[in-house]
Structure 1
Amino acid sequence: MTSDDTMCNEKSALTGNQLVLDLLATHPNHELSVSSLCQAGAIVGLTEQTVRVALSRLVKERTVTSPTRGYYAWNPTSNSLFLDVENWISKERRSKPWHGSWVGVQDSGVYRRNKKQWRAHERALKIRGFEQLFEGLSVRPDNLIGGVGSLRKDLQSLGLATEAHVFGVCNLSEPDEKAARALWDKEAMLRDYKRLINQVSKQLDRLESLPPETAAAESLIFGRSVIRQIIRDPLLPEELLPGKQRLKLISLMQEYQTVAIKIWLQVLGE
């Protein structure tokens, strides 16, 4: 399969919801007209009806608002994940020095047969970098600003099941401490950083040589995939994984995003 075929397939896989939220998240004012959103949809292979249906659904869910007739804006208060999307560039500021303690989530009492609730619960844990230490207990280092209390509220906003319990964990036995520190495949993470850094560098050079609409479409699809991985990075402390490569990736992706936003604003006449 050629790269053009891959891009075509990725364009068709982009949903109306994803298009609207991505564009509103990256626009300087987080607000766009319905005509601009429909134009953007056409660029990535979505019909006007698809975009309008997505807008109606997102407004109904209060994920997006309509401040004035014919304009739509995102609602950052509806889910803390939106703040992650907006603030991925400053992701490092979420962390604090690690003193060896952990945050635990005990979820053995969560009703697994409610598949929608369970998927949302698991997604919340993954977004915040939790991994399962024992059956019913997932942990992550307690190195995020705000500590356990702030993380508890954050997880609940992301969809953590109400039956789950969030608490601090310390003084693990030596075997359990060793097991906890080994939960993340740190070698694989370093390989991913290197791969993404190379990809962003190549794509950044490529954007300059493409027609504006083609560059806009590619930047949206490629950019969202990289930003998604940055958002889901567990932000491990230096003691577990040095952050140099993560910082390099975020810095390079910030440069890429600046170019991509300029292209989109040019294409949409904003």
Structure 2
Amino acid sequence: MNKLNTLDTLITRFKNQKPIRASSLVITLYGDTIEPHGGTVWLGSLIKLLEPMGINERLMRTTIFRLTQEGWLTNEKVGRKSYYSLTGSGRRKFEQAFRRVYTPYQTVWDGSWCLIMTHTLNADERKQLLDELNWQGFTVLTGHLIGSPNATLSDVNTVLASLGLQNKVITFQTHQQEELAGVQVRTLAKDSWELDKLGAHYQDFIDLFRPVWQELSEKDQIDPESSFLTRTLLIHEFRKRLLRDPQLPEELLPGDWEGRAARQLCRNIYRKVSPAAEQWLAQNLESANGPLPEASQAFYRRFGGLD
């Protein structure tokens, strides 16, 4: 029934990973599907949903146990059934990661930078700081100077305080500039954030999902299960690219930036398959109170609005 032939390629690619990234896919499933529908689902539903992707019952149970031990998931027993939902900390991590997926980065940049001198930090402290500030677009600009065109001092100070490093570094906020990004600044951004490498990752995504869009464009109706599986793998692959993306202002990006085309393609496919995918979920997911509730209003605002 109107199944997608291109889905076989996506599933085979996922299955050929060694080892299969089951934990990462389950997090994608919770972020994309389960959270908008109340956040809690029966383990049996999870097993059924992801079995076509090569995640059998034994692997799913092992994966759920591991995510519970790591603090991502919590469970509730009702009779003989177990229902799983994200923990508070797991939900905060999810929100931080997934906010970028569905909402384009549109902050107007005034040309200012946040800079941090890290010369007094040891190697471990410096790495820890960079790891924490990665979400705000920080990278090494030169020597012991790290910087970001996205961050504010208040956000940075919050991170520094949480790490106990506020008295070990020097921070600066530059003033806005009339010329936002001259040749030297764009060259610095390209080299410091390895934009060529990131662009290649986005191009891989485009090459993988463009045939999916071409097939979808030729269909009036789509099989609900194929739609759900396609949507899950779409967001799973797009999220992996975004985790590497510093979300630089438009003025610092190349004119032919692959990230723009990748987001457009992801949005188009997501909008196309979501109605049938939601139909599949309504028929196959179960919470402790019965079928999962309708998707939240926030879900329908994804990618600028869904039907």
Determine if the TM-score, normalized by the shorter chain, exceeds 0.5: yes
CA contact (8 A) 2:75 2:84 kept: yes
Higher deviation after alignment, 76-85 or 226-235: 76-85
Q: In the alignment, which residue of structure 2 is the partner of 1:253?
A: 266
C-alpha separation in 2, matches of 1:23 and 1:72? 12
C-alpha separation in 2, matches of 1:220 and 1:49? 21
Q: In the alignment, which residue of structure 2 is the partner of 1:21?
A: 27
Aligned residues: 254
Change in Cα spacing, 1:44 to 1:165, as seen in structure 2 (3 Å) is farther
Q: In the alignment, which residue of structure 1 is the partner of 2:238?
A: 226
CA contact (8 A) 1:42 1:48 kept: yes
The one of 8, 16, 20 equivalent to 2:15 is 8
Residue identity in the other structure for 1:137: L
CA contact (8 A) 1:125 1:155 kept: no
CA contact (8 A) 1:34 1:72 kept: yes
CA contact (8 A) 1:80 1:154 kept: no
Which runs of structure 2 are paired with 1:138-177 in the superposition (5 Å)?
138-141=146-149, 143-144=150-151, 147-153=152-158, 162-163=164-165, 165=169, 167-170=171-174
CA contact (8 A) 2:31 2:98 kept: yes
CA contact (8 A) 2:139 2:193 kept: yes
Residue identity in the other structure for 2:239: I
C-alpha separation in 2, matches of 1:200 and 1:166? 44
The one of 267, 277, 280 equivalent to 1:266 is 280
Larger Rg: 2
Query: Counterpart of 2:239 in 1: which secondary structure?
Result: helix
Scaled by the length of structure 1, what TM-score is found? 0.69
Could you tell me which runs of 5 or more consecutive residues in structure 1 were left unpaired when the two chains were aligned: none
Higher relative contact order (CA 8 A, sep 6+): 2
Query: Counterpart of 1:239 in 2: which secondary structure?
Result: helix
Q: Tell me by how many angstroms 1:262 deviates.
A: 4.0
Change in Cα spacing, 1:40 to 1:80, as seen in structure 2 (3 Å) is same
Residue identity in the other structure for 1:253: C
Q: In the alignment, which residue of structure 1 is the partner of 2:68?
A: 59
Query: Counterpart of 2:111 in 1: which secondary structure?
Result: coil
Q: In the alignment, which residue of structure 2 is the partner of 1:236?
A: 248
Q: In the alignment, which residue of structure 2 is the partner of 1:100?
A: 112
C-alpha separation in 1, matches of 2:203 and 2:60? 35
CA contact (8 A) 1:98 1:237 kept: no
Residue identity in the other structure for 1:52: R
Scaled by the length of structure 2, what TM-score is found? 0.63
